[in-house]
Amino acid sequence: MSTVQVAQALKLPPDEVGPALIALPEDQWFDRKSARIAPRELANVLIGFANAEGGVVVIGLADGTVEGTAARRAQLNDLQQASVEFSVPPVRAVGRRVPCRLPGGARDELLVLEVGPGTEVHANRRDEAYLRIGDQNHRLTFAQRQELVFDKQQTGYESRPVEAARVDQVDSILLDQYADAVDAPDPIRLLRARGLAVEDTLTVAGCLLFAENPQRFFPEAHVRVLRYRGRERGTGTRQQLVRDLRIEGPIPRQLIDAQAAIAEMEPVRRALVGGGRFGPVPLVPRDAWLEGVVNAAIHRSYSIGGDHIRVEIFDDRIEIASPGRFPGIVDLAEPLGAPRFARNPRVARVCADLHFGQELGIRRIYREMRDAGLGDPGYRQTAESVRLVLSGEPVDRGLDARLSESARITVGALRTAGRLSTGEVAELLDVTPPTALKRLRALRSAGLVEWVGKASRDPRAYWTLPPT
């Protein structure tokens, strides 16, 4: 759910606003609280939102009922001051009253607190830091907090003004569409309210999202879609590249154009299509690669120059590479358990409001791949980038269930990478090369992997999966 639905509910007549807000699911950007909540407890909720992507907290709703705030009017000032009194540094939260009606018809009010994403890590007076993950507020460990401090140093980049980028240089059609989506009467005022402009100057996020030509200021802020013949890139005269499309413009238009280009270039595979018959289907489920592209556009590091998002399409897989590493609070060994953290929270919010990207993120990619009977997505991280590999090869989940954890990791990595050296497998499993070699030889004896090389000490030797 995006913040658009919350904003629309808050504009309803008093007798409708409460039930409409109760009907909405709580999520990454929205929470409901009783007026009986203690200021200290409320502060923890606001801290969680500020440390993530911001959001909206509506006070006066509890247990599926509109309770209002009039009965506890004396405490409202304390609740409104919670973001200042009980958080360090103070959380930026704007409060307003919204008229509502109680179940019996009496007039009352809701207290609405709109929290912006913080540029530094917030904690309470006990020095406890929280992070909003989905519909829950999670207390961070010391190590997680330290990683969040580092990650937050990068989130401030998108809020910097771009001196030469003016609000009169926006794509007016795209901005009007966004203003209509969030029901805002003044598009330019909306840019300022969402941190996308400072007076008449666009910020980095505002420029990337709405400038007519953001590549004038950020030349590498584009998506490149490449189609290769076969399963290898090739080099020199053996290069297998057959199409190379550069997609520019503001982020929302890039995502639309990239979606069309990938769908056109994506190969097909044979699979069951219903009625017990086989037929052609896309190599990788559309929602899997689309979520991967959206995540790359939203979460890439735009402060890194000299690189761009690349979508490489092969006969057997799709690879999506984006500049910037995963946030430090994400454990790459457990991607399904990774908390949601936006390096560019303002970009993330606008894209969510325009229905690009889902709160599920990585989980959605896993679900789509598994539902299609394909291998799990593979994530590989270098010093400056993240690569997502989506293989079109069907996987035997029954076999996977019978493998040990290290064997399952090794076979899964080979499905996505195609080939790995013994040293790379050792690094993947966090074991010594002799231990990795012993395990690989056991897998080879079981017929699950193959070794390709000219001699036992061949530096170019590698391990791969046997042909099907």
pLDDT in tens, 117-172: 888 899 999 999 999 988 889 898 888 887 778 777 666 788 899 999 999 999 99
By CB atoms closer than 10 A (0-12, 13-18, 19+), residue 279 is exposed
Query: pLDDT at residue 339 above 60?
Result: no
Under 8 Å between Cβ of 237 and 205: no
Spatial contact of 427 and 410, defined as CB atoms under 8 Å apart: no
Written as six digits, the tokens of 101 are 């009606």
Find the mean pLDDT for residues 100-121.
92
- 284 and 318 in contact (C-beta within 8 Å)? yes
pLDDT value at residue 179: 92
Higher per-residue confidence, 356 vs 64 = 64
Mean of the per-residue pLDDT values of the chain: 87
Taking CA atoms, 429 is separated from 133, 232, 399, 423, in Å, by 28, 25, 20, 10
**pLDDT reading at 431 higher than 90:** no
Dihedral sign of CA atoms 425, 429, 430, 436 in order: negative
37 pLDDT more than 60: yes
Tokens representing residue 372 in the block: 């299609």
Cα–Cα distance for residue pair 86/381, rounded to 1 Å: 38
Give the distance between the most distant pair of CA atoms in the chain.
85
Q: Tell me which residue has tokens 């980095």.
A: 204
pLDDT at 1 over 60: no
User: What is the per-residue burial (b if ≥16 Cβ within 10 Å, else e) of 230-268?
Assistant: eeeeeeeeeebeeeebebbbbbbbbbebbbebbeebbbe
Q: Cβ–Cβ contacts within 10 Å for residue 314, how many?
A: 22
**Cβ(177)–Cβ(222) under 8 Å?**
no
Letter string b/e over residues 16-33, b meaning 16 or more CB atoms within 10 A of that residue's CB: ebbbbbbeeeebbbbbbb
How far does the chain reach from its first CA to its final CA, in angstroms?
42
Question: Which of 236, 350, 360 minimizes the C-alpha distance to 291?
Answer: 360
Beta bridge partners of 394: 374
Can you give the pTM of this predicted structure? 0.71
Residue 458 has what pLDDT?
86
Half-sphere exposure of 62 (CA within 13 A, CB side): 11
**Which residue type occupies 445?**
S
Confidence of residue 276 (pLDDT cuts 50, 70, 90): low
Token reading at 283: 């190599």
Look-up: residue for tokens 């005269």? 237
pLDDT tens profile 294-332 = 999 988 888 877 789 999 999 999 999 999 877 655 555
User: For residue range 341-398, what is the model confidence (pLDDT) as tens digits?
Assistant: 677 888 988 998 888 865 557 888 988 888 888 888 888 887 788 899 999 887 766 6
Q: How many alpha carbons fall within 13 Å on the CB side of residue 371?
A: 10
**Which of residues 126 and 406 earns the better pLDDT score?**
126
The more confident residue out of 382 and 233 is 233
**Residues for the chain: how many in total?**
468
